[in-house]
Chains A and B, each alone.
Chain A
Amino acid sequence: MTAERPVVFVVDDDASVRRALDRLLRAEGFQVETFASGSEFLSAADRRCGCVILDVRMPGLSGFEVLESLSSRRRSLPVILISGHSDVPMATRAMNAGCASFLSKPFENEALLTAIRDALRACSAWDSVPTGEGTPAVGPES
Chain B
Amino acid sequence: MSPRAVLRLSGLGITIALAYYAGAAVGFALKLPEATPSVMWPPNAILTSALLLTPTRLWPFALLAALPAHVALESGAGFPISLVLALFATNCTEALLAAGGLRFFSDDATRFDSFRRVGLFIAIAVLAAPFLSSFLDAMAVSLLRGEQYWQVWTARLFSNMLTALTVVPAVVTVVTSGWQWLRAAPRTRHGEAALLTMAMLVAAVFVLRRPASDAMTAELAEHAALAWMLPGLLWAAIRFGPGGSSLTLLVSSLVLTSAAVHSHGPFEGLSPSDTTLALQIFLTVVSVPLMVVAALIEERRLAQQDISKRLAVEALLARLSGAFVQLPSNRMHEVFDKSTREIGESLALESVMLFEYADTSEQLRRLAAWSARGDLEPGDPPIPDRFVESVAARLDRKPLAFHLPLTTARSEDAPGGSTLNSVLIPLIAENKIRGMLACTFDASLAQRGSAVLEELELVARVLANALSRRSAEDALRASEATKSAILSSLTYGVVVIDRRGDILNVNTRWHQMIGENAPAAATQVGANYLRFLADAARSGAIRAAKAAEGVAAVLDGTLDDFRQEYLVPHRDGERTMAMRAVPLDHPEGGAVVTYVDLTQQRRAELEAERARAELAHVSRVATLGALTASIAHQLNQPLTGILTNAQAARRFLAGSAPDLEEARLTLDDIMQDDRRASEVIVRMREFLRKDTGPIQNVDLHAVVREVARLVSSAAIIRNTELILNLDEAPAIVHGDRVQLQQVVLNLIVNALEAFGESRPSDRRIVVGSCCSRGDVVEIEVTDNGEGFKGLEESAFEAFYTTKPGGMGLGLSIARSIVEAHAGLIRAANKPDGGATVSFRVPLAPESAG
Chain A residues with a Cβ under 8 A of chain B? 13-14, 16-17, 19-21, 23-24, 27-28, 57-59, 62, 82, 84-85, 104-109, 134-135
- Of residues 624 through 658 on chain B, the ones whose CB sits less than 8 Å from some CB of chain A are 629-630, 632-645, 647-648, 651-652, 654-655
- The reply to whether A16 and B641 form a contact with Cβ atoms under 8 Å apart is yes
Q: Which of B412-420, B528-536, B668-676, B792-800 contacts A (4 or more CB under 8 A)?
A: B668-676
Chain B residues with a Cβ under 8 A of chain A? 629-630, 632-645, 647-648, 651-652, 654-655, 662, 665-666, 669, 672-673, 676, 713, 716-717, 719, 721
- A28 nearest in chain B by CB position: B651
- The reply to whether B641 and A107 form a contact with Cβ atoms under 8 Å apart is no
Chain B residues with CB under 8 A of A28: 651
Chain A residues with CB under 8 A of B676: 16
Most buried by A among B641, B719, B721: B641
Chain B residues with CB under 8 A of A108: 643, 647
Main SS class of interface, A: loop
Nearest CB on A from B262, distance (A): 169
Give the docked Cα–Cα distance between A107 and B646 (Å): 12
Nearest CB on A from B627, distance (A): 11
Nearest CB on A from B353, distance (A): 106
Most buried by B among A85, A104, A135: A85
- The reply to whether A23 and B713 form a contact with Cβ atoms under 8 Å apart is no
- The reply to whether A109 and B639 form a contact with Cβ atoms under 8 Å apart is no
Q: Which of A21, A27, A106 contacts B636 (CB 8 A)?
A: A106
- The reply to whether A85 and B639 form a contact with Cβ atoms under 8 Å apart is no
Nearest CB on A from B649, distance (A): 9
Q: Which of B642, B644, B652, B665 contacts A109 (CB 8 A)?
A: B644
Chain A residues with CB under 8 A of B630: 85
A-B contact pairs, 14 of them (CB 8 A): A14-B637, A16-B638, A16-B672, A19-B641, A20-B648, A20-B669, A23-B648, A84-B635, A84-B713, A85-B636, A85-B713, A106-B642, A106-B643, A134-B651
- The reply to whether A135 and B669 form a contact with Cβ atoms under 8 Å apart is no
Give the docked Cα–Cα distance between A13 and B708 (Å): 17
- The reply to whether A20 and B641 form a contact with Cβ atoms under 8 Å apart is yes
Nearest CB on B from A49, distance (A): 24
- The reply to whether A85 and B644 form a contact with Cβ atoms under 8 Å apart is no
Chain B residues with CB under 8 A of A135: 655
Chain B residues with CB under 8 A of A27: 648, 651-652, 662
- The reply to whether A16 and B673 form a contact with Cβ atoms under 8 Å apart is yes
Give the docked Cα–Cα distance between A102 and B634 (Å): 19
Chain B residues with CB under 8 A of A104: 636
Give the docked Cα–Cα distance between A23 and B663 (Å): 10
Nearest CB on A from B665, distance (A): 8
Chain A residues with CB under 8 A of B655: 134-135
- A82 nearest in chain B by CB position: B640
Nearest CB on B from A121, distance (A): 23
Give the docked Cα–Cα distance between A59 and B713 (Å): 9
Chain A residues with CB under 8 A of B640: 14, 17, 20, 82, 84, 105-107
- The reply to whether A17 and B651 form a contact with Cβ atoms under 8 Å apart is no
Nearest CB on B from A84, distance (A): 3
Nearest CB on B from A27, distance (A): 5
Chain B residues with CB under 8 A of A57: 633, 713, 716-717
Given contact pairs A16-B672, A17-B644, A84-B640, enumerate 5 new A-B contacts (beta carbons under 8 Å): A14-B637, A14-B641, A17-B640, A58-B716, A108-B643
- B642 nearest in chain A by CB position: A106
Give the docked Cα–Cα distance between A85 and B644 (Å): 17
Give the docked Cα–Cα distance between A106 and B662 (Å): 21
Chain B residues with CB under 8 A of A84: 632-637, 640, 713
Please judge, given known A-B contacts A106-B642, A106-B643, whether A24 and B648 are in contact too, CB under 8 Å. Answer: yes
- B670 nearest in chain A by CB position: A20
- The reply to whether B647 and A85 form a contact with Cβ atoms under 8 Å apart is no
- The reply to whether B717 and A21 form a contact with Cβ atoms under 8 Å apart is no
Please judge, given known A-B contacts A85-B632, A105-B636, whether A24 and B641 are in contact too, CB under 8 Å. Answer: no
Nearest CB on A from B755, distance (A): 15
Nearest CB on B from A53, distance (A): 11
Chain A residues with CB under 8 A of B717: 57, 85
Please judge, given known A-B contacts A14-B641, A17-B640, whether A24 and B721 are in contact too, CB under 8 Å. Answer: no
Nearest CB on B from A38, distance (A): 12
4 nearest interchain CB pairs?
Answer: A84-B636, A20-B644, A16-B641, A24-B648
Q: Which of B639, B644, B673, B716 contacts A21 (CB 8 A)?
A: B644
Please judge, given known A-B contacts A16-B669, A134-B654, whether A109 and B647 are in contact too, CB under 8 Å. Answer: yes
Give the docked Cα–Cα distance between A91 and B368 (Å): 109
Give the docked Cα–Cα distance between A17 and B666 (Å): 12
